[in-house]
Amino acid sequence: MALLIKENFHSVSHTIRSLLSKNNAIILSCIGTGVGFGLLRWYFSGAKCRCKRQLTGKTVIVTGSNRGIGRETARDFAKRGARVILAVRDITKGERAAEDIRQSTGNNNVIVRIVDLSSLESVRKFCRLILEKEERLDILVNNAGVRFCPHWTSQEGYELHFAVNHLGHFLLTNLLVNLMKKSAPSRIICVTCMAYEEGSINFDDLNSQRSYDPWTAYTQSKLANILFSQELSNRLAGSGVTVNSVHPGIVQSELGRYTGDNKPALWRRLLIKIVGFIIMKTPQQGAQTSIYCAVSDQLENVSGKYFSDCCIRDTSSVAKDKVTATQLWDVSCKRVNLHLPPT
Ligand SMILES: NC(=O)c1ccc[n+]([C@@H]2O[C@H](COP(=O)([O-])OP(=O)(O)OC[C@H]3O[C@@H](n4cnc5c(N)ncnc54)[C@H](OP(=O)(O)O)[C@@H]3O)[C@@H](O)[C@H]2O)c1
Ligand SMILES: *[C@@H]1O[C@H](CO)[C@@H](O)[C@H](O)[C@H]1NC(C)=O
């Protein structure tokens, strides 16, 4: 026995010694770096939705689901057996994503419906078709978004962040909410961003006509998402429809594609790429909190909350301002020409 241990010890120490020889030092440090990278990547990958719930017989809509976080959210719902409606603005990109999702999940009940959230007319047309064709709607994920685009305006002349991220989804959700009530219990998820904390709703200049700054416009629209989600949650209390908002994390995506105007130097871009690769979530990881809010059994009666990494988080004071939330609701109704029955 002792001999066996001794012999093994000998061979192990021999292996270590030969591994530490010059050539292998290089290999070893490579492996070390790899493991280090891996551990860091793992550390920043965020929480995973562990709920196994199936969605057979349920219908779900995800806006902006031809790529990024939206596509991975839709893919997960397809895996769970739902009828998945990809709400996208481009038919070719939409069909490509639908085919990809069908292939990877084996669920053929994945369809594309066209909606351009920067056109209220397009939103109304989309909703008319949904109400005409669908018998139920169990989950709606308001995920589409633009970030840091130039000072562009929507079809109706509204600043694009505010139009796409907020107004389009505001109208879309309100037009579909009766169908969701009929399908209750049902859930609405609004994808916002932690940066809402920096935002404020500038009622005097909602369209940024006096001055335009992409960061200000983006954070205003993301604050609008969270205020809308809470206000809607209050209005839907007792209806069996819950509304929650989500910060997906910092996720690799094409959201930043408008920032390419003044490109930094090559070494800086490379550094950003490497650091980004380490600390940013993949779209699949970024989708986890949206998925969690949509399927978790524990959240059956949870509404009006804000989540990140599959946990309820406290919101900063800007998001708790009920006066602003109601004012935003009223202004939004006017902007999208929506006449709701008095509550
Ligand atoms: N990535 C992040 O780090 C991060 C962080 C916090 C919050 N978020 C939020 O997460 C959500 C998804 O972002 P992502 O990272 O997945 O971005 P993404 O890859 O840029 O995807 C955005 C999606 O929105 C769609 N979209 C844009 N404008 C539209 C319009 N007018 N009508 C219909 N669809 C439109 C895009 O469609 P096209 O392909 O046709 O352009 C695309 O499918 C956004 O709400 C974003 O604010 C992201
Ligand atoms: C949600 O509320 C219903 C009705 O009050 C109750 O039966 C159910 O157990 C609740 N679910 C959870 C997860 O708390």
Residue 35 is assigned to a structural domain of this protein: no
User: Which pLDDT value is given to residue 16?
Assistant: 67
Segment 47-72 mean pLDDT: 97
Residue 34 falls inside a structural domain: no
Q: Whose CA is nearest to atom 4 of ligand 2?
A: 301
Q: Is residue 33 part of a domain?
A: no
6 Cα: distance to centroid of ligand 2 (angstroms): 63
Q: What is the pLDDT of residue 39?
A: 86
Which of the pair, 253 or 159, is modelled with greater confidence?
Answer: 159
Range 170-190 average pLDDT: 98
Q: How confident is the model at residue 4 (pLDDT cuts 50, 70, 90)?
A: low
Q: Is residue 297 within 8 Å of residue 53, measured between CB atoms?
A: yes
**Which residue of the set 158, 218, 292, 306 is catalytic?**
218
**CA angle, corner 113, sides to 100 and 135, nearest 5?**
110
In angstroms and rounded to an integer, the radius of gyration of the C-alpha atoms of the chain is 24
Could you tell me if residue 286 is inside a domain?
Answer: yes
Please tell me the distance from the alpha carbon of residue 124 to that of residue 173, in angstroms, as a whole number.
Answer: 11
Q: Kindly report, residue by residue over 101-128, the tens digit of the pLDDT.
A: 999 999 999 999 999 999 999 999 999 9
Say which residue, 166 or 4, is predicted with more confidence.
166
- Can you give the pLDDT at residue 127? 98
Residue 48's nearest CA partner among 228, 316, 227, 292 is 292
User: Can you tell me which atom of ligand 2 is nearest the CA of 297?
Assistant: 13
Work out the average pLDDT over 76-100: 98
Residue 19 has pLDDT above 80, yes or no: no
Kindly tell me the sign of the dihedral angle through the C-alpha atoms of 237, 238, 239, 240.
Answer: positive
Tell whether 15 is covered by a domain.
Answer: no
pLDDT digits (tens, 9 = 90+) for 250-271: 998 765 566 555 667 788 878 8
Query: Of 36-45, 169-178, 184-193, 257-266, which range is least confident?
Result: 257-266
Over residues 172-178, mean pLDDT: 98
The reported pLDDT for the residue numbered 326 is 97
What is the residue with the minimal CA distance to atom 1 of ligand 2? Answer: 301
What confidence score (pLDDT) does residue 30 get? Answer: 87
- State residue 149's pLDDT score: 92
Which are the contacts of 120, defined by CB distance < 8 A and separation ≥ 6?
Answer: 154, 155, 156, 167, 168, 171, 336, 337
pLDDT of residue 85: 98
Tell me, yes or no, whether 1 lies in a domain: no
**Which residues does residue 312 pair with via DSSP β-bridges, in sequence order?**
307
Report the nearest atom of ligand 1 relative to the CA of 117: 32
Question: Residues 194-241: pLDDT tens digits?
Answer: 999 999 999 999 999 999 999 999 999 999 999 999 999 999 999 999
In this prediction, residues 263-283 reach a mean pLDDT of 82
Catalytic residue list contains 218 = yes
- 342 in any annotated domain: no
Domain span including residue 189: 45-336
Kind of pairing between the strands at 83-88 and 139-142: unpaired
Count of structural domains, the chain? 1
**Closest ligand (CA of 302):** 2
pLDDT computed for residue 260 by the predictor: 54
163: domain CATH number is 3.40.50.720
Judge whether 272 lies within some domain: yes
Mean pLDDT (the chain) is 92
* pLDDT band (50, 70, 90) for residue 294: very high
Q: Residue 236's pLDDT is what?
A: 97
Contact 282, 261 (CB under 8 A): no
Specify the pTM: 0.90
